Chain A
Amino acid sequence: MIQNLFKSLHLFASSIAITLMLCGVTYVFKYTQNLEAYKYIQLYKTVQIDITALKRSKYDKELHKKLKSLKTKFTDRTTKNALSNFIQAYSSNNERLFKKRKTELHELLTANHKQLEGAIHKNSSVMLYIFGLGLALSLLALIVHHFFIQKNILQPIQKLTERIESFINGQYKFQFSQPKNNEIGRLESSFNSMADKVTNTIEDLKELDQAKTEFLNIVSHELRTPMTSIKGSLGLMASGNFGQLPDKVENLLHIAEEETNRLIRMTNDFLDLAKIEAKSQMINKEWILIDEVISKCVQALSALLQKAKVEVVWEESPEIEIFADTDRIQQVLTNLLGNAIKFSPVDSKIDIKAQSLQTELEIQIIDKGPGITSEDQEKIFEKFRQATGPTKPLVKGTGLGLFIAKALVEGHGGTIGIRSEVGVGSCFYFRLPDYREKQLSPMVEVAA
């Protein structure tokens, strides 16, 4: 239909063009006529001047010749005849006839003169009107054309563009009502179909996500229930409350206990991994004191610390707060600190530092363990990577701790890394971009 619109517009424009051309042609034609008229007027004037001055008494042969030649220039008979008569009378001896013919000619020429002037005047008026008409028509055509394009093309395109932009910003539900049967209408229909599809896909994804979460919850419960029983049984047997066991049996029990704990850790890690990859958990960020996070973490690992005979030392930074999800950052710290404890030699100290780096806060966990080769440093944050060195960790891990920590830190817009030297120790650090020093007055603080 827009094609038809264009066709009709073309027709309209063409007719305007033709009208203008006709106006132009008429204009030129009239102008030419006027030119002709002016020429004749000149002629009449010339003759009039000549004959006025003429007196039969003074016969001028030259003038006679001139008049004869002038005669040929006139096309209308009346004037020609009058001039012929006059020339005849001039060369005759009849004074009275001469005077008569002279007056006749003079009057005729004057009449012609006046007539031509009138025609010229009329022509000029016509030309002016035609010019005005042409101008008005062009203006009208321009205005109509403008409105047509505005309403049928520009406006719909603008509306469509606006809708697409809000679509990009998340407004998927809008539908154009009753798209017309033209090119714009087809665009609108397509948009409707696309919006439909996107909305459906989103709904499907949400459902899928929910299903995943449910699955995770079920698996978690189902795996943990028997593990509870096994751990419980083993623990009771090992507790000695039911009698002293032979050494070999005790050893076997310990092995079973260790491996059960490992299974439990693995399950936790896998579930964490699945959660991260499902992206179904929302990150709940809030302003939390870094000191609180560190102290909770150290407390949680106190049993492991005791077993390893390692101490944690950290400088308090009571003013520093980070904008982060408590559980997740806690987990990052737990994973890193846990690693440090596992690899630290007996009676050594682990340092935890929080250092401000202008745009970021760097939290470091420094241990005096065996260190990590630069080769391994590149790979340790990958999935299922474990220490390859000769030193065995205190407790076997799953190889997921660092990978999970990395994912969690990056989920907060931060970075994680390691600085280590073999034989000296390792410094695991992570940086978070959203932090502040609490000294600022509440009104100045802006939530990140």
Chain B
Amino acid sequence: MKMKILLAEDDNSISKIMSLTLETMGQHEVTVAENGQLALNFALDTEFDLILLDQMMPEIDGLGVCAELQKKGEFATPIIFMSAKSQDSLDISATGAVGYIEKPFDPQSICQRIDEILISKEEEAS
């Protein structure tokens, strides 16, 4: 299914590749935010179907953005974290995010992975 995705990622190469991947492999529409603050602004401003948050970003980091969005209460857009995972399994259950993707990731599988996470979230909810 086609989605409007907000990608918060400070590294240019990764954001280019991810956008390309998501657009070509998943036919999604991708908006890139280069730091946490911009990501927050976009998220509050526009309605997205999915938000992909990089953990390590300048201004506000991934967890921070997530917390801010949750503050506004009833934030419906699902959030997925991306992490370089050196610290053992980011405990996402507390943050309100629906899942996380480990870096480095395989572009072939990124779309699949996203779908998996969203589907299991729906299953959980129902």
Alpha-carbon gap, A165 to B17, bound state (A): 61
Contact between chains at B88 and A232 (CB < 8 Å)? no
Which chain B residues numbered 11 to 25 have a C-beta less than 8 Å away from chain A?
A: 11, 13-14, 17-18, 20-21, 24-25
* Cβ-based interface call for A69 (8 A): no
Contact of B86 among A221, A232, A241 (CB under 8 A): A221
A228 touches B104 (CB 8 A): yes
B106 in the interface (beta carbon within 8 A): yes
> Closest CB of chain B to A220's CB: distance in Å?
3
For B16, the closest partner residue in chain A by CB is A229
Q: In the complex, are the beta carbons of A228 and B88 less than 8 A apart? A: no
CA distance A228 to B18 in the complex (A): 10
In this assembly, does B44 line the interface, its C-beta being within 8 Å of a C-beta of chain A?
no
Give Cα A241–Cα B88 distance, bound, in whole angstroms.
Answer: 35
- B89 close to A (CB within 8 Å): yes
Give the interface centre of B13, B56, B86 by most chain A CB atoms within 10 Å: B86
Interface residue tally for chain B (C-beta within 8 Å): 22
Q: A226-B13, A241-B24 are in contact. Are A231 and B84 (CB under 8 A)?
A: no
B14 touches A228 (CB 8 A): yes
Known A-B contacts A229-B17, A241-B25; A235 and B11 likewise in contact (beta carbons under 8 Å):
no
Residues of chain A within 8 A of B89, CB atoms compared:
327
A227 at the interface (CB under 8 A from B): yes
**1/0 contact trace for A327-360 toward B, CB 8 Å?**
1000000000000000000000000000000000
Known: A231-B107, A232-B14. A224 touches B21 (CB 8 A): no
Whether A266 sits at the interface, judged by CB under 8 Å, is no
How many chain A residues have a CB neighbour from B under 8 Å?
Answer: 22
A216 within 8 A of B: yes
Given the complex, which residues of B lie within 8 Å of A227, measured CB to CB?
A: 103-104
Is A233 located at the chain interface by the 8 A CB criterion?
A: yes
A305 to B1, CA, bound (A): 29
Q: Which residues of B contact A225 (CB under 8 A)?
A: 11, 14, 84, 103
Question: In the complex the two chains form, what is the Cα distance from A241 to B20 in whole Å?
Answer: 10
Q: How far is the CB of B126 from chain A (nearest CB, A)?
A: 23
Residue of A nearest to B88 (CB): A327
Which of chain B's residues has its CB closest to A274's CB? B86
Instruction: Provide the A205-228 mask, 1 if CB < 8 A to any CB of B, else 0.
Output: 000000000001100110011111
Q: Within 8 Å of chain B (Cβ to Cβ): is A94?
A: no
Q: Which residue of B has the minimal Cβ distance to A227?
A: B104
Instruction: Tell me the complex Cα distance, A235–B105, Å.
Output: 10
**Is A169 in the interface zone, CB < 8 Å from B?**
no
Q: Is the CB of B108 within 8 A of A239?
A: yes
Q: Is the CB of A224 within 8 A of B106?
A: no
In the complex, A271 has a CB within 8 A of chain B: yes
Q: Are A220 and B106 in contact (CB under 8 A)?
A: no
- CB B90 to nearest CB in A, in angstroms, measures 12
Most B-side CB within 10 Å, residue of A220, A224, A226, A232 = A232
Q: Does A264 contact B (CB under 8 A)?
A: yes
Instruction: Give bound CA distance, A73 to B108, whole Å.
Output: 140
The B interface is mostly helix, strand or loop, or mixed, namely loop
Whether the Cβ atoms of B108 and A231 lie closer than 8 Å is no
> B104 contacts which chain A residues (CB < 8 A)?
224, 227-228, 231-232, 264
Instruction: Identify A221's interface contact among B17, B18, B56, CB under 8 A.
Output: B56
Which residue of the partner chain B has the closest CB to A267? B104
CA A281 to CA B86, docked complex, whole Å: 11
**Interface residue A236 (Cβ < 8 Å from any Cβ of B):** yes
Q: Are A239 and B84 in contact (CB under 8 A)?
A: no
Q: What residues of A have a CB within 8 angstroms of the CB of B105 in the complex?
A: 228, 231-232
Give chain B interface residues in 64-105, CB to chain A under 8 Å.
84-89, 103-105
Q: Is the CB of A217 within 8 A of B87?
A: yes
Q: Which residues of A contact B11 (CB under 8 A)?
A: 225, 228-229
1/0 per residue B15-53: CB within 8 Å of A? 001101100110000000000000000000000000000
Partner of A229, one of B14, B25, B84, B85: B14
Partner pick for A216 among B14, B20, B86, B106, CB 8 A cutoff: B86
Whether A228 touches B103, Cβ cut-off 8 Å, given contacts A236-B20, A241-B25, is: yes
A-B contacts besides A216-B86, A217-B86, A220-B86, 19 pairs, CB < 8 Å: A217-B87, A220-B84, A221-B84, A224-B104, A225-B14, A227-B104, A228-B103, A228-B105, A229-B14, A233-B13, A236-B20, A236-B21, A236-B24, A236-B107, A239-B25, A239-B107, A241-B24, A264-B104, A281-B88
- Interface CB pairs A-B, < 8 A, 23: A216-B86, A220-B86, A224-B103, A224-B104, A225-B14, A226-B13, A227-B103, A228-B105, A231-B106, A232-B21, A233-B13, A235-B107, A235-B108, A236-B21, A236-B24, A239-B108, A241-B24, A241-B25, A242-B24, A264-B104, A271-B86, A281-B88, A327-B89
Ranked nearest first, the 7 interchain pairs of A and B with the lowest CB-CB distance are: A220-B86, A232-B17, A229-B13, A235-B107, A228-B104, A224-B84, A221-B84
